[in-house]
A and B are shown apart, each in its own frame.
Chain A
Amino acid sequence: MTELAFWVIAIVLVSSALAVVLLRNVFRAALLLIVCFFGVAALYITLNADFLAAAQVLIYAGAIGILLLFAIMLTRDLHSGNPFHRLHLPALVLSLLLLATIIGVVIGTDWTTISEVPQVVEMPLDEPTTSYIAIALFDQDNGFVLPFEIASVLLLAALIGAVVLVRREGKD
């Protein structure tokens, strides 16, 4: 059952990801990217990571997808397909480097099973993950409370900075 689900999800995921790159219509590409995010969430569900799946749908398919669509809508000359690009050669070099890095990581990684990976929190499989994620993140002894708080303050600062940037001073 899980294996069948995996293959269905994998086919949807890979084909939608390819379509995102290959389609000329940017709006449809963005919509397919949202489908792609859903596929990743479905993969998380087959791995018993329920909280992560919901967060994936909420943040990527919900927030980031909408942000992308909004950015596309504010872009000019969309009806002529993808924006005009001249930097073919640098783009090729960069994407080849990225591909080489990914392939290197995939080959170099030791794909052990889950039980052999060092665990942050002792946790039985097949159990709801929410409370264990909370313990791993906010535990008083070896949690990540301070980085978490710093990250949230950073995001707040970015938010306020964005508001200040778009706000016009005085006339015009």
Chain B
Amino acid sequence: MSVWEYIVDLFVNVRTDWIEWLQGFNLASSLIILLDSLIGIILMLIFVFPIVIIFIWLERRFIAWMQLRPGPNRCGPFGLLQPIADAIKTLIKELIMPAKGDKLVHWLAPVVLFFSGLMLFAVIPIGKGHLGALADLNIGILYIVAIGSLSVTAIFMAGWSSNNKYALLGAMRAVAQLVSYEVPMVLSIVGVVLIVGSLQMSEIVGQQSYPFILVQPLGCFIYFIGAMAELNRSPMDQIEAESELTTGYFTEYSGMKFATFFLGEYISTLAIATIVTTLFLGGWKGPFLPVWFWFVFKVFAVFLVILWMRATLIRVRIDQIMAFSWKFLLPMALINIFITAAEVLIWDKWMSGWESFPWPFIFVNWAIAVVLILLWSKIFFKLGGGRVEVGEVRPGYSQGYGADLQAPVS
């Protein structure tokens, strides 16, 4: 094997050599599995943390560039050392604990969020075959959906234990929003699973001789927007809206605990970018260059789109954000499942030779996606864009959303 061949699929080759080396020692098979997962976890962390640090730098510089300002440019060349300076600054800050809060839960919440994001990487394939992912589960996608629902618990723990009304309001919004967006998100994955016929991540990448965004434009669109809401990123960051809730559920967090929350959010963002890459953009597949290069390249492309949306779109109002999930994304996701199911049936019956590049389906699906989005958004805005009207305004009460819940204005 030449050096180039070794580098092309670095992750898998390092792991294969490690397992072969371990097998020379006549160890018990369970011990080999344990040591193999150990090296897998280390390799994964080597992959995750540098990218997260670059993400933090990129977010500030890229958005600054979009908004025609210099951004952080004092620490090192191009401000590259800024994330490290920020990390040291937050580490040496005082840890403040609300007096009547739940200390244990307050301490535990960032840890839960951090690890629920990190656990997602276990099934993401960054190399060829079964060894490409840390654990190539048969239920890969289902595992991602299940672990992804954990972040709600962490946010809720933070909001509750802070004993602060802004934090609790943020947590309530978090539960409402995250639970709503999880439904269309999960349903949009079903299209991919129907085409592939497996929940296994390596299988999903293996069958993508063309990126699935071509046959699943609607699914990709819905998953991406749902993921933005799951990540509490602008324009869906109602949960931590600074101007209304003073950053919501982590109002009472400072120092290291705040940094852990912050890092956890970036890890989740990276996880979502890798999932979008794996499901819709062909994962590690790509011509000529090493597979890990293609993977990282696509992940960064997805992240830049996320940043682009943050830099250009304004925050959605809380009543609109719920309506957008239930009245816009959910019906579209259901329609997508119906169309994909019908196409899979047609595919199996009459089009056995089309697996490599089914251009009729690509054409039809893109046409359907564009027409549906245009038509549905027109209807959606005609019906008020999901605006919630709360009764009539009584004299002495302030006007607006939730006006009937407020105390009279004196």
Contacts and interface: CB of A to CB of B under 8 A. Distances in A.
A130 B153 CA distance: 27
Please classify how large the interface on chain B is, using the bins under 10, 10 to 19, 20 to 34, 35 or more. 20 to 34
A62 interface: yes
A66 B146 CA distance: 13
B153 A51 contact: no
Given A54-B142, A58-B145, 15 more contacts: A27-B160, A31-B105, A31-B153, A50-B137, A54-B139, A54-B143, A54-B145, A57-B147, A58-B146, A61-B153, A62-B149, A66-B149, A70-B172, A73-B171, A130-B139
B395 interface: no
Contacts of B30: 1
Given A50-B138, A51-B142, A130-B199, A62 B152 contact: yes
A63 B104 CA distance: 23
Nearest to A34: B153
Contact of B102 (A27, A65, A69): A27
B20 interface: no
Interface in A119-144: 128, 130
A28 interface: yes
Contact of B138 (A1, A34, A65, A130): A130
A73 B30 CA distance: 44
Contacts of B153: 31, 34, 61, 65-66, 69
A28 to B, nearest CB: 7
B175 interface: yes
A1 B29 CA distance: 10
B182 to A, nearest CB: 8
Nearest to B171: A73
B391 A70 contact: no
A73 B160 contact: yes
Interface residues of A, number: 24
Interface string B164-203: 0000100110010001000000000000000000010000
B147 to A, nearest CB: 7
A70 B145 CA distance: 21
Given A1-B30, A63-B149, A172 B391 contact: yes
A61 B139 contact: no
B146 A57 contact: yes
A155 interface: no
23 contacts: A28-B102, A28-B104, A28-B105, A31-B153, A50-B137, A51-B142, A54-B139, A54-B145, A61-B150, A62-B146, A62-B150, A62-B152, A63-B179, A66-B153, A66-B175, A66-B179, A69-B175, A70-B172, A70-B175, A73-B160, A73-B168, A130-B199, A171-B392
Contact of B152 (A31, A55, A66, A172): A66
B157 interface: yes
Contacts of B199: 130
A29 to B, nearest CB: 12
Contacts of B145: 54, 58
Interface string B79-117: 000000000000000000000001011000000000000
Closest 3 CB pairs of A and B: A62-B149, A128-B138, A57-B146
B338 to A, nearest CB: 16
A27 B105 contact: yes
Contacts of A28: 102, 104-105
B156 interface: yes
A48 B147 CA distance: 19
A39 to B, nearest CB: 15
B202 to A, nearest CB: 13
Contacts of B105: 27-28, 31
Interface in A53-99: 54-55, 57-58, 61-63, 65-66, 69-70, 73
A27 B392 CA distance: 37
B149 A51 contact: no
A88 to B, nearest CB: 28
Contacts of A1: 30
Nearest to B28: A1
Contacts of A58: 142, 145-146, 149
B261 to A, nearest CB: 18
Nearest to A1: B30
Interface string B121-144: 000000000000000011100110
A90 to B, nearest CB: 32
B226 to A, nearest CB: 15
Contacts of B160: 27, 69, 73
Instruction: Give the most central of A25, A28, A50, A62: most B CB within 10 Å.
Output: A62
Nearest to B199: A130
A62 B142 CA distance: 13
Contacts of A66: 149, 152-153, 156, 175, 179
A69 B168 CA distance: 12
Contacts of A27: 102, 105, 160
A55 B156 contact: no
A76 B122 CA distance: 41
Contacts of B172: 70, 73
Nearest to A128: B138
Contacts of A69: 153, 156, 160, 175
